[in-house]
Amino acid sequence: CGVAGVYGDKDAANLVYLSLYSLQHRGQEGAGICSTDRHNFYLHKSLGLVADIFSNSILKDLKGDIAIGHNRYSTTGANNISNTQPIFAEINKGKIALVHNGNIVNASQIKKELVDSGSIFMSTTDSEIIIHLIARNSKKSLIEAIIDSLSILKGAFSLIFMTENSMIGVRDPMGVRPLVLGKIRGGYILASETVALDLVEAEFIREVEPGELVIIDDDGIKSLKPFEKVEPKPCIFEYIYFARPDSIIFGKYVYDIRKEFGKRLAVENPVDADIVIPVPDSGVVATLGYSEISKIPYEHGLIRNHYVGRTFIEPSQSIRHFGVKIKLNPVPSIIRGKRVVVVDDSIVRGTTSRKIVKMLREAGAKEVHMRISSPPTKFPCFYGIDTPTRKELIASTHTIEEIKKYITADSLGYLSLKGMYECVKNLPFCDACFTGNYPTMYGDGESENKC
């Protein structure tokens, strides 16, 4: 999911709308904005794309100088309006709204306890438990109640809260999902990625640190680090695929890291070929790196229809199959008679790759060599990236040779884990989808809000 919030600007809702627009790649299922004029809260959310959900008149009704917003990206098909965010509630400590990116892995256990003792839930998301925990907390101050509540959560959460007179940003102690802080005109902005700040001409201050709470109110910014310190485990997949290349994530431009992955991929998996082409858009930057090192000319051999969303975000398998064809088309004059290297960021089920290889052969490719700018995806993610169950992940049940056969490529090469780490200077990251080394307990399987 994508989250954004603006504090202290009379155009808060409009600025959040623009931010969500630039974060559309982080979720396309639904979106919402909640604002406050420091007394009333105004909320609008719906299924669909940001640009389709909000009109001028809707934005005008989202009054006030504080607003938060959310782009939802779900996995398990709970494609319904009650699971969209922001979540708004009036509790004993006042009015509060919340947006969440990440996935809480002990959510269903906590939810069970809450339901058993009388809580009533309006959605099936893991995010709603946070509001219930805060409401039930006996601490007088809201901040203390938030800290207590978040302390029992395991997993990934980049959160933005809004109250009648403050905005609070939080990152889980491992810092799995990103969250950045910026200055905008007279106020402040929080967002998943810096591209949101770029669009609204906000100045990037810094990332919210893992385990940090930033409280923004009329007195300025206050920072707290209330949680037990653990080793940071930012998600390496943000670099590989999820974030936009023009964002600064975990201190580096995604573009630069992605290109390093491509260069390293070329060093590790060379092949004699005439052209190297990306699977657009996710393979583009790595392909530039591959071309630079291999000296194989870069071409655009597959053209993408830009009006189709990311294939994998569409929730049903039948749409996914349809999606590949609808999205990509080869350019035969580039492909015909050539030995083609095709670079993508990852292979999940293998269905996309298989279709791409077939398409390229039908367009006249003499050879098709698939190169993947990340290690084999063998394990599902429990922290907010949409991966299917283990048995659907082709690399968890097949060797590289078998995958090569399945996708019918002449050769297949992945970036090594060691190579990937060298590209990110061997800093600590979550790499569980490649290694199975989950930094917390597993998902408890029931939460639907992989966001």
Whether residue 198 has a cis bond before it, omega within 30° of 0: no
Query: Rounded to 5 degrees, what angle do the CA atoms 342, 343, 347 make?
Result: 110
- Interface with ligand SF4 by CB under 6 A: which range of 47-55, 233-241, 283-291, 315-323? 233-241
Q: Give the separation between CA 385 and CA 75, rounded to whole angstroms.
A: 9
Phi then psi for residue 349, to 5 deg, are: -90, -20
Distance set, CA 78 to CA 3, 121, 273 (Å): 19, 15, 44
Sheet holding 180-184, edge to edge: 41-47, 30-36, 66-72, 2-7, 187-191, 180-184, 203-207
User: Is the Cβ of residue 45 or residue 354 nearer to Mg ion in the bound state?
Assistant: 354
Query: To 10 degrees, what angle do helices 400-407 and 351-362 make?
Result: 50
Per partner kind, with CB cut-offs from 5 to 8 A, the member of ligand 5GP, Mg ion, ligand SF4, none near residue 383 is: ligand SF4
Catalytic: which of 1, 381, 433, 451?
A: 1
Question: Looking up tokens 């929730």, which residue turns up?
Answer: 315
| Residue 282 binds Mg ion (CB under 5 A) | yes
Per partner kind, with CB cut-offs from 5 to 8 A, the member of ligand 5GP, ligand SF4, Mg ion, none near residue 235 is: ligand SF4
Per partner kind, with CB cut-offs from 5 to 8 A, the member of ligand 5GP, ligand SF4, Mg ion, none near residue 410 is: none
User: Is the Cβ of residue 128 or residue 386 nearer to Mg ion in the bound state?
Assistant: 386
| Residue 348 binds ligand 5GP (CB under 6 A) | yes
User: Comparing C-alpha atoms, which of 244, 93, 234 is closest to residue 173?
Assistant: 234
Shortest distance, position 415 Cβ to ligand 5GP, whole Å: 14
- Interface with ligand 5GP by CB under 6 A: which range of 167-175, 345-353, 408-416, 422-430? 345-353
For residue 5, the cross-strand partners are: 68, 190
List of residues 6+ apart from 426 with CB closer than 8 A:
none
Shortest distance, position 430 Cβ to ligand SF4, whole Å: 3
DSSP line for 294-305: H-PPB---EEE-
For residue 190, the cross-strand partners are: 5, 181
User: Is the Cβ of residue 158 or residue 377 nearer to ligand 5GP in the bound state?
Assistant: 377
| Residue 346 binds ligand 5GP (CB under 6 A) | yes
Shortest distance, position 26 Cβ to ligand 5GP, whole Å: 12
- Interface with ligand 5GP by CB under 6 A: which range of 155-163, 224-232, 346-354, 419-427? 346-354
- Interface with ligand SF4 by CB under 6 A: which range of 194-202, 271-279, 324-332, 380-388? 380-388
Distance set, CA 217 to CA 23, 147, 220 (Å): 25, 17, 5
Shortest distance, position 431 Cβ to ligand 5GP, whole Å: 14
Binding mask 377-406 for ligand 5GP (x = CB under 6 A): --------xxx-------------------
User: Comparing C-alpha atoms, which of 346, 259, 332 is closest to residue 302?
Assistant: 332
Tell me, yes or no, if 381 is annotated catalytic.
no
User: Is the Cβ of residue 198 or residue 386 nearer to ligand 5GP in the bound state?
Assistant: 386
| Residue 106 binds ligand 5GP (CB under 6 A) | no
| Residue 236 binds ligand SF4 (CB under 6 A) | yes
Token pair listed for 393:
């992940």
| Residue 287 binds Mg ion (CB under 5 A) | no
User: Is the Cβ of residue 260 or residue 344 nearer to ligand 5GP in the bound state?
Assistant: 344
| Residue 7 binds ligand 5GP (CB under 6 A) | no
User: Is the Cβ of residue 249 or residue 409 nearer to ligand SF4 in the bound state?
Assistant: 249
Shortest distance, position 283 Cβ to Mg ion, whole Å: 6
Binding mask 279-298 for ligand 5GP (x = CB under 6 A): x--x----------------
**DSSP assignment, residue 92?**
T
| Residue 126 binds ligand SF4 (CB under 6 A) | no
Per partner kind, with CB cut-offs from 5 to 8 A, the member of Mg ion, ligand SF4, ligand 5GP, none near residue 346 is: ligand 5GP
| Residue 298 binds ligand SF4 (CB under 6 A) | no
Question: Looking up tokens 């294939």, which residue turns up?
Answer: 311
Question: Looking up tokens 């290297």, which residue turns up?
Answer: 341
Sheet holding 87-91, edge to edge: 87-91, 94-101, 158-162, 167-171, 213-217, 220-224
User: Comparing C-alpha atoms, which of 301, 255, 305 is closest to residue 278?
Assistant: 301
Catalytic residues: 1
Q: Which residues bind ligand SF4 (CB under 6 A)?
A: 176, 235-237, 381, 383, 385, 430-433
